[in-house]
């Protein structure tokens, strides 16, 4: 439990830094697999003709599915498939990690056939205190998803809690 913890100038210098752009693909197979995996039964996620009748260009990406990162051996993170290097990293020394949640704002259609360019940046750092965990560092990351036509189709804001 961290009794003392402060945000340093070195940590503040990371705020605003962006990751290298990374491509996520949205395919008919990935849309169907995700929809099936989370239990969606609406035919628009499985049948392209039905999706087009409903006003989509192709199978729409189900809620929370923002494509699959392209994995490149030696360049991709083995766990998350995004870029291995170049993203903002805060050196804080706290060993514990909790997911602080993610909010997604959709700004356009995401459909099978789309290639999304994904860029994340560290947006904020905050220190809060918990009676059980002590001082905690809250990091806020903002991620933009831009389609092949240059349209930002989704924005995500997520938080991680280090303690």
Contact 114, 69 (CB under 8 A): no
Residues facing residue 18 across a β-bridge: 121
CATH number of the 9-162 domain: 3.10.129.10
pTM: 0.90
Contact 145, 66 (CB under 8 A): yes
Average pLDDT over residues 93-107: 96
Contacts of 74 (CB under 8 A, 6+ apart): 84
The domain locations on the chain are 9-162
Q: What CA–CA distances, in Å, run from 109 to 50, 55, 70, 93?
A: 16, 10, 20, 40
Residue 2 has pLDDT above 70, yes or no: no
Helices (H) and strands (E) in the chain, counts: 3, 6
Helix (H) or strand (E) holding 146: strand 134-146
Average pLDDT over residues 38-54: 98
Q: What pLDDT is stored for residue 85 in this prediction?
A: 77
Lowest mean pLDDT, pick from 28-32, 113-117, 132-136: 132-136
Residue 3 has pLDDT above 90, yes or no: no
Task: Tell me the pLDDT of the chain averaged across its residues.
Answer: 94
Q: What pLDDT is stored for residue 161 in this prediction?
A: 97
């Amino acid at each position: 439990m961290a009794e003392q913890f402060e945000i340093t100038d070195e940590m503040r210098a990371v705020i605003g830094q962006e990751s290298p752009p990374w491509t996520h693909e949205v395919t008919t197979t990935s849309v169907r697999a995700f929809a099936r995996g989370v239990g969606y039964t609406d035919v628009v996620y499985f049948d392209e003709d039905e999706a087009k009748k409903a006003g989509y260009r192709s199978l729409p990406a189900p809620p929370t599915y923002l494509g699959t990162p392209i994995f490149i051996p030696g360049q991709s993170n083995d766990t998350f498939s995004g870029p291995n290097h170049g993203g903002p990293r805060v050196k804080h020394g706290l060993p514990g990690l909790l997911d602080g949640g993610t909010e997604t704002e959709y700004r356009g259609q995401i459909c099978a056939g789309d290639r999304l360019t994904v860029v994340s940046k560290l947006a904020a750092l905050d220190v809060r205190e918990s009676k059980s965990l002590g001082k905690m560092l809250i990091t806020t990351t903002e991620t933009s998803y831009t389609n092949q036509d240059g349209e930002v189709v989704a924005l995500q804001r997520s938080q991680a809690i280090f303690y």
